[in-house]
């Protein structure tokens, strides 16, 4: 008998096939068993009639428990009433492993209980839908950059120092010295941009921020993009194009999963370039009018982002932040050196900042001056200065956080469900 995935049943219409799956639910009417099966690729109902199977097969049905793993064979056929559009009439059923009593039931569980059982919770339909959307977002981002001629490359996770001070870094022993887990690949990517022109990396990043918010994790995935000869304006346009590409790809390819999540897609359908751009100063003025207590010169907090985004139904760029509250490497605005050529991109519907980007300082003297101001150890960064010594060029880039993008597109109010095993302030297990 041919073994197929549930997602392949359409191609085997009216044929006898073998499925290998888990029983996520079942009921019996005495003479008929209705099994709900899942195998990762899809879900299907399998029907077993006492009269048409061997006594031993019926016995196996009576032994079933939720989450038992099984092999079932039978004929698959189209059925309008079933969610997958197909059903199976079972002729044989074998239990691979009879599950012990499954801890996650139909009743509502608290978040802590679910996170303690994350290794099992991942089997839930909602969770698999989120993981599939996450996968699609990753493929869309990669194909976007590939189409644009960007080369995927890798930056290190173990680093000797950080681009923004070491207070929010996780450290680990590295033989006789201390290594830090990367919080962004940007500085290394700048070196690669001077080699390959247009590059991006995509990998895990780590931040030891004691932030217990619905948008922060200690470990998250970031895609950094960097391009030589690209300046502030093109950097913004590139981000805009990326977001439009990803959102439209998700709307095209992942409607089933969005439906499972009951995501109202009306907001996503509105995402069209160009996005509104607001200079930091204007944003703060607007925030004050909206009732925020933000002071000019302070960074926008998560609450400010939420208040501001009530006014916009599209992603919003905030640009030209004060140099004093941004990283040392950002290029000052030639018209006003107190602000830098940078941008954050805020997602609509209250999902907060998803991208941070900037034009980078490419003049050696200016960079060294900024190092002094930020009291950074110049010795550690000699290699970074070299990039400004040997054929320096204007260049820009940005980092997009995967989990916040997943949270926005899936309509999740917390990032903890956007990654299989979230690392949160008080959670390192499972």
Q: How far is the CB of 179 from ligand ATP (least distance, A)?
A: 20
- For residue 313 the two structure tokens come to 């139904």
CB nearer to ligand ATP: give 88 or 347: 347
* CA dist., res. 55 & res. 337, Å (int): 83
Please, what is the angle between helix 232-253 and helix 125-147, to 10°? 140
Q: CA angle, corner 302, sides to 299 and 308, nearest 5?
A: 85
- Residues 9-48 vs ligand ATP: string with x where CB under 6 A? ----------------------------------------
Q: How far is the CB of 155 from ligand ATP (least distance, A)?
A: 14
CB nearer to ligand ATP: give 36 or 358: 358
Q: Which residue has the tokens 């390959």?
A: 196
CB nearer to ligand ATP: give 43 or 215: 215
CB nearer to ligand ATP: give 67 or 304: 304
* CA dist., res. 424 & res. 401, Å (int): 16
- For residue 13 the two structure tokens come to 């219409």
- For residue 18 the two structure tokens come to 């073998």
Q: Which one of residues 46, 354, 387, 412 is an interface residue with ligand ATP (CB under 6 A)?
A: 354
Applying CB under 6 A, which part among 126-134, 281-289, 354-362, 364-372 lies near ligand ATP? Answer: 354-362
- 74: enclosing H helix or E strand: strand 69-78
Q: Which of 173, 160, 157, 161 is nearest to 375 (CA)?
A: 161
Residues 207-266 that bind ligand ATP (CB under 6 A): 207, 209, 215-217, 220, 222
Applying CB under 6 A, which part among 58-66, 255-263, 330-338, 348-356 lies near ligand ATP? Answer: 348-356
Q: Is 397 in the site for ligand ATP (CB under 6 A)?
A: no
Q: Is 401 in the site for ligand ATP (CB under 6 A)?
A: yes
Q: How far is the CB of 188 from ligand ATP (least distance, A)?
A: 15
- Per DSSP, the residues of 174-221 read ETTEEEEE-S--HHHHHHHHHHHSEEEEEEEEE------STT--SEEE
- Residues 189-208 vs ligand ATP: string with x where CB under 6 A? ------------------x-
CB nearer to ligand ATP: give 131 or 355: 355
Give how many residues touch ligand ATP by CB under 6 A.
16
Counted residue by residue, the chain has a size of 430
* CA dist., res. 309 & res. 313, Å (int): 7
Regarding beta strands 316-319 and 276-279, do their DSSP bridges make them parallel or antiparallel, or are they unpaired? Answer: parallel
* CA dist., res. 134 & res. 221, Å (int): 11
Q: Is 355 in the site for ligand ATP (CB under 6 A)?
A: yes
- What residues line the site for ligand ATP (CB under 6 A)? 207, 209, 215-217, 220, 222, 353-356, 399, 401, 403-404, 415
């Amino acid at each position: 008998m041919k073994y197929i995935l549930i997602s392949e049943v359409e191609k085997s219409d009216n044929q006898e096939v073998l499925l290998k799956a888990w029983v996520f639910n079942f009921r019996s009417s005495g003479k008929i068993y209705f099994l709900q099966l899942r195998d990762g690729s899809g879900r299907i109902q399998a029907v077993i009639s006492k009269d048409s199977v061997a006594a031993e097969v019926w016995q196996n049905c009576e032994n079933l428990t939720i989450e038992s793993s099984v092999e079932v064979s039978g004929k698959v056929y189209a059925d309008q009433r079933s969610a997958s559009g197909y059903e199976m009439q079972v002729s044989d059923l074998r239990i691979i492993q009879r599950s012990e009593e499954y801890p996650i039931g139909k009743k509502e569980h608290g978040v802590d209980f679910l996170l303690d059982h994350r290794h099992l919770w991942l089997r839930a339909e909602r969770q698999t839908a989120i993981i599939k959307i996450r996968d699609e977002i990753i493929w869309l981002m990669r194909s976007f950059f590939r189409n644009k001629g960007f080369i995927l490359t890798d930056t290190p996770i173990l680093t000797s120092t950080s681009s923004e001070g070491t207070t929010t870094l996780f450290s680990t022993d590295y033989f006789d010295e201390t290594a830090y887990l990367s919080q962004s690949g940007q500085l290394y990517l700048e070196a690669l941009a001077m080699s390959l022109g247009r590059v991006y990396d995509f990998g895990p990043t780590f931040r030891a921020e004691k932030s217990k918010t619905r948008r922060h994790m200690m470990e998250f995935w970031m895609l950094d993009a960097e391009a030589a000869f690209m300046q502030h304006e093109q950097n913004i346009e590139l981000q805009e194009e990326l977001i439009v590409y990803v959102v439209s790809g998700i709307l095209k390819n992942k409607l089933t999963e969005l439906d499972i999540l009951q995501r109202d897609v009306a907001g996503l359908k509105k995402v069209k370039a160009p996005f509104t751009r607001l200079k930091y100063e204007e944003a703060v003025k607007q925030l004050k009018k909206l009732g925020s207590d933000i002071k000019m010169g302070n960074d926008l907090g998560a609450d400010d982002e939420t208040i501001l985004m009530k006014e916009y139904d599209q992603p919003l760029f905030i640009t030209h932040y004060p140099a004093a509250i941004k990283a040392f490497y950002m290029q000052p605005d030639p018209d006003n050196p107190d602000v830098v050529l940078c941008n954050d991109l805020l997602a609509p519907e209250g999902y907060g900042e998803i991208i941070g980007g900037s034009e980078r300082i490419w003049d050696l003297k200016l960079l060294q001056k900024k190092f002094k101001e930020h009291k950074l150890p110049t010795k550690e960064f000699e290699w970074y200065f070299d990039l400004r010594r040997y054929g320096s060029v204007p260049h820009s880039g940005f980092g997009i956080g995967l989990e916040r993008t997943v949270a926005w597109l899936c309509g999740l109010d917390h990032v903890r469900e956007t990654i299989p095993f979230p690392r949160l302030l008080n959670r390192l297990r499972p």
